[in-house]
A and B are shown apart, each in its own frame.
Chain A
């Protein structure tokens, strides 16, 4: 005999049965019954944000740092539309979210009712899947299915739109174990013949490269472990996309640093000159490949991805393996051990010698200053002074994000939360809230820019309300730094609307929110101030006043190939390097 309850009670019960401890949301007319059900229990804790976008990013931070599904609850109309940015962000970066939206009562749908919008229509193209639940007896099944879809295969956001009358109606509850999906059954084991072919190619490689991405992180800690094991077995060099940082340790001997537009000289040149490339859970994004027809022209390419549509999407590969990274790597490691290929040790040695020559260029080097804080230096100090602590880093989007990726080093997966695909300014601050909630004793820092952070600054209030000791480390150069950099390099130094002529006093702002404000303006005081921040057990906004005109290098100019990188010292020549076609690219 099925248990009877209201739709609102079913929502809460389903969350409990899915093991959800925290949800992020904002109440409104169309979700009041669910909020009423939340009020009458204490198994699921609701975190009240200040804007629905903040709820989605907080849920993303929660999901990314734990591997669990992040849950959001918002009302109809503006509640749903405000959540869209975070939903698209989660889709682009493959973050599992379940977003529950209220909807006007079923008899009002289509009548342009108050706070009505076509949520399933609007979110159809920006979710992995979405539902409008019109019958309360479908509700529990739909919620359990949504969790399954969000976390299975290539993870992503799922929206469940629930009309208010359905929340009031009584229906039969279905437990998660009784729910299976008839069409969506992603394949996790890779084709063994293809894996054999891959191992054979890798065994003959003279200039191999492992190009890893966010798929390794999404596949779980075992995947990172297997990646390390395989790297150690083979001695092959490893690089990673922005999303994959931490899967292979930055302190590991085979680590080349990040690749792509602001990747290291050694990583990009190794990609370009490689003869066998193993792409693991990455997607040949335009930030990675640079000019497509000059992308790693001489390599045989092997691609592991759980999403069949990622294979051959941007770059033709020689061996495409559809499957979960951990499952496929397990087979690769096993086959490698069994067949113990006769690797060309001399060639591999020569390859590493070449890589060391590239490394010697020290592409991340910058001119130090004793007068002004260089943004890269600030991140280096933050990294050094937080070493040995349980650290999680989030970022906003722009120069500071790239500098963080270059100069903050990650030895473990799930420690780095950033908006890679969508590039959402305003991601980092709310993301820290989700991360801190999941890891109450950790040091959680948003490496931010003063422009980005103002997009979701109001979530500082959320952090104060829940006593979450997040640290907002703002590299304040008064510019939208990456926009300013492109304007300098591509638009003749015409800084159109990229300078903020008015900025808040971030120290006072922190205090106004009930947090702590710290400011550093000189390199000499930086260490002491960072230590003060780390030791403050309350939310902190750190206003780190940095060099206003520093550019982020190295850089692959738009429309150029991996081996046409611009290094910091050569920066002045850059204007002539980008042709008119390149200017068309973002």
Chain B
């Protein structure tokens, strides 16, 4: 059986506006698992409280044909208002927030603070043997920060996943 689609696998960031009703996230996630699509990152929150509209941001990967299919499949879910492939529009702004806990003493603490300063991470908790840093940025910046901090004693990381919006004056 030949592969049905041989295009290059690309990373895409999708913004999905949905009615904030029970089970809506289940529908979206179930669609991805049921049809064998990838989810690299997922964030969701109510963004328009009055009209009960939530915004789901999903980072996925696939060939152009698969991503087109994902957008179409999401679009036909009943509680979905709109789906936009932000990468396809070329105006992608992405941010993620991470909280990184490191544990260490002496020179490691000093080095960690120096790195945090370089990455513009903030200290949001400190004890005599630990820090919690807060960092916002593109996912690869966060990846890099964690990688550099790792030998200094990272004990745990919590990341929000990617939130995204399009550049320019228009709403999606």
- Which chain A residues have a beta carbon within 8 Å of chain B's beta carbons? 120-121, 124-125, 128-129, 132, 149, 153-154, 181-184, 291-293, 307-309, 311-314, 316, 559, 581, 584-585
Known: A125-B30, A125-B34. A316 touches B65 (CB 8 A): yes
> What's the dominant secondary structure at chain A's contact region?
loop
Contact, CB under 8 Å: B1 / A581: yes
Contact, CB under 8 Å: B65 / A124: no
Known: A128-B78, A183-B19, A183-B79. A312 touches B68 (CB 8 A): yes
Known: A293-B2, A559-B1. A308 touches B75 (CB 8 A): yes
Contact, CB under 8 Å: A183 / B23: no
List 12 A–B pairs whose Cβ atoms lie within 8 Å, in order of A's numbering: A124-B23, A124-B30, A125-B30, A154-B76, A291-B1, A292-B2, A307-B76, A308-B72, A311-B72, A312-B69, A581-B1, A584-B1
Contact of A120 among B23, B69, B76 (CB under 8 A): B23
Number of interface residues of B (CB under 8 A): 22
Cα–Cα, bound, A183→B79 (Å): 6
Min CB gap B115→A, angstroms: 45
Known: A124-B30, A125-B30, A312-B68. A149 touches B78 (CB 8 A): yes
Q: Which residue of A lies closest to B80 (CB)?
A: A183
Q: Which residue of B lies closest to A128 (CB)?
A: B78
Contact, CB under 8 Å: A121 / B26: yes
Contact, CB under 8 Å: A129 / B1: no
Contact, CB under 8 Å: A124 / B78: no
Contacts of B34 in A (CB 8 A): 125
Interfacial residues of chain B within 15-36, with CB under 8 A of chain A in the complex: 19, 22-23, 26-27, 30-31, 34
Cα–Cα, bound, A308→B65 (Å): 13
Instruction: Indicate whether B4 reaches chain A with its CB closer than 8 angstroms.
Output: yes
Known: A124-B27, A184-B78, A312-B65. A132 touches B22 (CB 8 A): yes
Known: A125-B30, A292-B2. A309 touches B75 (CB 8 A): yes
Cα–Cα, bound, A314→B68 (Å): 12
Contact, CB under 8 Å: A313 / B79: no
Q: Which residue of B lies closest to A129 (CB)?
A: B78
Interfacial residues of chain B within 70-109, with CB under 8 A of chain A in the complex: 72-73, 75-76, 78-81
Contacts of A585 in B (CB 8 A): 1
Cα–Cα, bound, A291→B3 (Å): 11
Contacts of B4 in A (CB 8 A): 292, 314
Cα–Cα, bound, A316→B63 (Å): 13
Cα–Cα, bound, A181→B77 (Å): 13
Min CB gap B60→A, angstroms: 15
Known: A124-B26, A124-B30, A309-B69. A183 touches B75 (CB 8 A): no
Min CB gap B93→A, angstroms: 26
Cα–Cα, bound, A153→B69 (Å): 18
Contacts of A309 in B (CB 8 A): 69, 72-73, 75-76
Q: Which residue of B lies closest to A311 (CB)?
A: B72
Q: Which residue of B lies closest to A310 (CB)?
A: B72
Contact, CB under 8 Å: B78 / A183: yes
Contacts of A314 in B (CB 8 A): 4
Shortest beta-carbon contacts, A-B, top 10: A309-B72, A129-B78, A293-B2, A308-B72, A309-B73, A184-B78, A125-B34, A125-B30, A581-B1, A183-B81
Contacts of B19 in A (CB 8 A): 182-183
Cα–Cα, bound, A120→B78 (Å): 14
**Max chain A CB contacts within 10 Å: which of B26, B27, B72, B79?**
B72
Contacts of B72 in A (CB 8 A): 308-309, 311-313
Min CB gap B59→A, angstroms: 20
